[in-house]
Amino acid sequence: QVQLKESGPGLVKPSETLSLTCTVSGGSVSSVSYFWSWIRQPPGKGLEWIGDIHYSGRTTYNSSLKSRVSISVDTSKDQFSLNLGSVTAADTAVYYCARDLIDGLGFDFWGQGILVTVSS
Amino acid sequence: DIQMTQSPSSLSASVGDRVTLTCRASQSISGSLNWYQQKPGIAPKLLIFSASNLQSGVPSRFSGSGSETDFTLSISSLQPEDFATYYCQQGYSRPHTFGQGTRLETK
């Protein structure tokens, strides 16, 4: 059974960079069949896809965040990471990592989520 | 970007009711539509992929239909554990986009 788990600081100061890592177990990020995504959910609001990465290094980002976001993968550790720069209070959210089937067949496995608060 | 619009935004129903939720895409997405269920404090769960395919382990009272721009999620006989928020998501093109959600509440 594939499992994903987010890790990183729960509190980030405004204007700084939010950095999170997702560790995959029970499977490998080096599969041609999947993309690996970051999705966030502000408190009480809906889901926003941030971006994804394929093990080959190909990335796609949400255009609304593209200037501030970077996603990378470490195949040796079965991890992928999110960096979101110049954060503001509007970036406060639960951040999820998820596995995305390559043909748009949905996010079939999710991490438990990690709440990141942007505050001084 | 493709916009996804769900209706209604909230729905009150009772155990045993049949309910239908709607999702509309701003352009044709063929059959690339996925549905998720989310309960408070828990990550979303994939229910249906490619408009009408039940994810493994999902009860058969859930069903999906539609194509192009109009899609529905139906629950044939509501159970207590079905009260949750439901999201649609298009898998047709990146960036992936979600609907704003339909909150299914007990009447």
How far apart, in whole angstroms, are the C-alpha atoms of residue B42 and residue B44?
A: 6
pLDDT in tens, B71-102: 999 999 999 999 999 999 999 998 999 999 99
User: Does A104 contact B43 at a Cβ distance shorter than 8 Å?
Assistant: no
Provide the token pair at B74.
């139906």
Let me know: does A22 contact A96? Beta carbons within 8 Å. no
Cα A3 → chain centroid: 14
Q: Is B26 a residue whose pLDDT tops 90?
A: yes
User: Closest chain A residue to B9 measured between Cα atoms?
Assistant: A46
Interface residue A74 vs chain B (CB under 8 A)? no
pLDDT given for residue A10 in this prediction: 96
Q: Is A103 a residue whose pLDDT tops 90?
A: no
Residues paired with B13 in a beta bridge: B106
Quick one: average pLDDT of B46-56? 97
| Location of structure tokens 């995504």 | A37
Q: Is A101 a residue whose pLDDT tops 90?
A: no
CA atoms within 13 A on the CB side of B107: 10
What integer best gives the mean pLDDT of chain B?
A: 97
**Measuring CA to CA, which residue among A58, A43, A69, A48 is closest to residue A102?**
A58
pLDDT given for residue A102 in this prediction: 82
Identity of the amino acid at B48: I
Q: Peptide bond before B8: cis, by omega within 30 degrees of 0? A: yes
Quick one: average pLDDT of A85-111? 95
How far apart, in whole angstroms, are the C-alpha atoms of residue A2 and residue A101?
A: 13
Contacts of A46 in chain B (CB under 8 A): 87, 98-101
Of all residues in chain B, the percent with pLDDT exceeding 70 is 100
pLDDT given for residue A36 in this prediction: 97
**Measuring CA to CA, which residue among A103, A72, A65, A102 is closest to residue A86?**
A65
Cα B54 → chain centroid: 12
Nearest-CA distance A118 → chain B (Å): 19
**Other beta carbons less than 10 A from residue B14's beta carbon:** 9
Of all residues in chain B, the percent with pLDDT exceeding 90 is 98
pLDDT given for residue A104 in this prediction: 86
In the DSSP assignment, the letter for residue A40 is E
User: Does B91 contact A62 at a Cβ distance shorter than 8 Å?
Assistant: no
Provide the token pair at A73.
């993968």
| Location of structure tokens 């986009």 | B97
Give the model's confidence band at A72: pLDDT under 50 very low, under 70 low, under 90 confident, else very high. Answer: very high
pLDDT in tens, A35-63: 999 999 999 999 999 999 999 999 999 99
How far apart, in whole angstroms, are the C-alpha atoms of residue B14 and residue B104?
A: 10
Let me know: does A50 contact A39? Beta carbons within 8 Å. yes
Buried b (16+ CB within 10 A) or exposed e, B25-61: beeebebbbbbbbbeeeebbbbbbbbbbeebeebeee
Nearest by CB to B43, from A51, A52, A96: name it: A96
What integer best gives the mean pLDDT of chain A?
A: 96
Quick one: average pLDDT of B53-66? 97
